[in-house]
Amino acid sequence: MKVRIEHSGPNEVFASDSKPRELYRPVLEELDEMGVEGWEERTGRAHEKLLAEQREYGIREGGKTHPTDWFPRLISASDWERLERGLAQRLRAVNEFLRRLEAGKEEVVPREVIESSGLYDVSVPDRFGEVPTRQMGFDMVAVESAGSGEAGAGWRYLVIEDNARMPVGAMSMSRMRALTQEVFPESYAALRVRSLGDLLGRLGEVLRAASPLPDPTLAILSTGPDDQYYLDHHLFAEQTDAILAERHEVELDGEGYLIHKGTGRRIDVIYERIEEGRIYDDLPKLIDSHLEGKVRAIFAPNVNIVDDKGVYPFIPQMIRTYLGEEPITENIDTWSLAVEEDRRYVLEHFDELVTKSRSGWGGKDVLIAPEESRETIEEFRKMVEENPIKYIAQRPVDFSTHVLCDTRNGEFTLRDSYADYRVHALAPDPETVEVVPGAMTRVAAPGSRLVNISSGGVMKDTWVLG
């Protein structure tokens, strides 16, 4: 088996001497036993099942599915225990931040950061409710720490981004898990992988808990068949007995309640999956309906202030101030240019840092200064100096790599590639946080650090070991 470890990032599967880490021995041994022919047969079946699922729901163009690598990523039980506690703590702090924001008592995030955010509409009153965000996705990376060379344990996990509005990945996790354990059945059993359980059913229960009604009607609002995640919307609606509706298929009645035109049913809880624009742009009175409690919006207007990169630096202080605890899971070293002391530091060390626009996404509006020319750095610096509150800066992180499994000339090739995690947490009530034991891993194309699917990345399943 060929192993290509070419990048500087520490690899989770192989140690620095290219020897397999103990954690991954069952997977590597099963891969070796199945051979190239067995691998291609098993992964071919998995691909065909994904295609069949797409065709069943009317997606018939071509033979493509979401790009997937079938070699699983593993998290040891000891690493997961700390990670689980850290993310539960983080979601509790975020929800307390939103409650205080609604009550006008928020004291951690500078008001100018909130009011200057493109994700916050000052004209809309905040109404987040007792559980402001019931589902969050945390984007994370692993960095090497003492003990990471032994049995695969000892990695440190850093949150790089918080996603409180429409965090995708739960459906992908569920589908990948069903298929990856068929590709590696022996490893899956031997490693005692923690089950995802009925992840989608549980998510549906958590969403319905937003309504005080005993059996509320849930609707998933989608852009429609042109949305890249439409199949996910379809499957989620089917598995949670929810209405799947597009913008034009819902309306407000004379009393201000949201109605599904096709069935005439009153909608009690809306789970918006509209990527461009908002349902409130089409139905402006829907905000009044939400404020009056006639419909419960899972992603309430302004809740996505949490997603603003300008709020991210303040979450550790939220934990200290509102929970009276020290953060268990850390941020990357980050400076807010809205804070004078931070701004001075960033401008003095500009060519050493990664500077990001608060409104950028998918790798856009980012300067990785150590990798850029002097001219590019100075151009970006001028933009930052003109409007510093719109930016944050971070210290570059040498995060971990995983492997992409490929076959060439009848042999396996494992290529070293940078990877991150999307971990989901659910909050069914004010006191409870459930961190889903798994993750959607995104792996960058070899030679790149951009893990986004739109930038050539692929997905893979993540197994939490028991």
CATH number, residue 342: 3.30.1490.270
Q: Is the dihedral of CA 130, 208, 242, 291 positive or negative?
A: negative
What are the tens digits of pLDDT across the range 410-422?
Answer: 889 899 999 999 9
Instruction: Give residue 82's pLDDT.
Output: 96
Are residues 358 and 444 both part of a single domain?
Answer: no
Joined together, the tokens standing for residue 370 give: 């150590």
Closest-CA residue to 204 (of 242, 232, 169, 246):
242
97 part of a folded domain:
yes
Contacts of residue 450, defined as CB under 8 A and 6 or more positions apart, other chains included, come to 363, 444, 456, 457
What are the tens digits of pLDDT across the range 244-266?
Answer: 999 999 999 999 999 999 999 99
Instruction: Give residue 5's pLDDT.
Output: 55
Are residues 108 and 49 both part of a single domain?
Answer: yes
Instruction: Give residue 138's pLDDT.
Output: 98
Side-chain-facing half-sphere of 58: CA atoms under 13 Å: 7
Are residues 366 and 450 both part of a single domain?
Answer: no
Contacts of residue 355, defined as CB under 8 A and 6 or more positions apart, other chains included, come to 346, 366, 367, 369, 380, 384, 391, 392, 393, 394
42 part of a folded domain:
yes
Are residues 242 and 339 both part of a single domain?
Answer: no
153 part of a folded domain:
yes
Joined together, the tokens standing for residue 445 give: 């194309």
Structural contact between residues 265 and 215, judged by C-beta atoms closer than 8 angstroms: no
Residue 244 pairs with which residues in a beta bridge?
220
Are residues 98 and 232 both part of a single domain?
Answer: no
Instruction: Give residue 277's pLDDT.
Output: 77
- Burial grade of 425 (CB within 10 A; 0-12, 13-18, 19 or more): buried
Are residues 119 and 228 both part of a single domain?
Answer: no
Are residues 372 and 293 both part of a single domain?
Answer: no
φ, ψ dihedrals at 281, nearest 5°: -70, -30
Whichever domain contains 233, its CATH number is: 3.40.50.11290
Are residues 417 and 382 both part of a single domain?
Answer: no
Are residues 215 and 193 both part of a single domain?
Answer: no
The separation between CA 55 and the C-alpha centre of its own chain, rounded to angstroms, equals: 27
Distance CA 448, CA 426 (A): 32
Distance CA 115, CA 308 (A): 11
Instruction: Give residue 147's pLDDT.
Output: 54
205 part of a folded domain:
no
Which residue type sits at 105?
A: K
Number of C-beta neighbours around residue 239 at 10 A: 16
174 part of a folded domain:
yes
Instruction: Give residue 84's pLDDT.
Output: 98
Instruction: Give residue 400's pLDDT.
Output: 94
Residues in the chain: 466
Are residues 34 and 175 both part of a single domain?
Answer: yes
325 part of a folded domain:
no
Are residues 62 and 161 both part of a single domain?
Answer: yes
| Segments in the chain below pLDDT 70 | 1-9, 57-63, 146-153, 360-364
φ, ψ dihedrals at 394, nearest 5°: -135, 155
Distance CA 319, CA 159 (A): 14
Instruction: Give residue 457's pLDDT.
Output: 87
Are residues 281 and 249 both part of a single domain?
Answer: yes
248 part of a folded domain:
yes
Range of the domain at 287: 211-297
Instruction: Give residue 278's pLDDT.
Output: 81
Structural domain total, the chain: 3
Structural contact between residues 278 and 257, judged by C-beta atoms closer than 8 angstroms: no
Instruction: Give residue 83's pLDDT.
Output: 97
Distance CA 440, CA 445 (A): 16
Contacts of residue 194, defined as CB under 8 A and 6 or more positions apart, other chains included, come to 80, 437, 438, 463, 464, 465, 466
45 part of a folded domain:
yes
Instruction: Give residue 7's pLDDT.
Output: 47
Q: What is the 3-state secondary structure (H, E, C) of the chain?
A: CEEECCCCCCECCECCCCCECHHHHHHHHHHHHHHHHHHHHHHHHHHHHHHHHHHHCCCCCCCCCCCECCCCEEECHHHHHHHHHHHHHHHHHHHHHHHHHHHCCCCCCCHHHHHCCCCCCCCCCCCCCCCCCCEEEEEEEEECCCCCCCCCCCCEEEEEEEECCCCCCHHHHHHHHHHHHHHCHHHHHHCCECCCCCHHHHHHHHHHCCCCCCCCCEEEEECCCCCCCHHHHHHHHHHHCCEEEEHHHEEECCCCCEEECCCCCECCEEEEECCCCCHHHHCCCHHHHHHCCCCEECCCCCHHHHHCCCCHHHHHHHHHHHHCCCCCCEECCEEECCCHHHHHHHHHCHHHCEEEECCCCCCCCEEEHHHCCHHHHHHHHHHHHHCHHHEEEECCCCCCEEEEEEEECCEEEEEEEEEEEEEEEEEEECCEEEECCEEEEEECCCCCCCCCHHHCCEEEEEEEEC
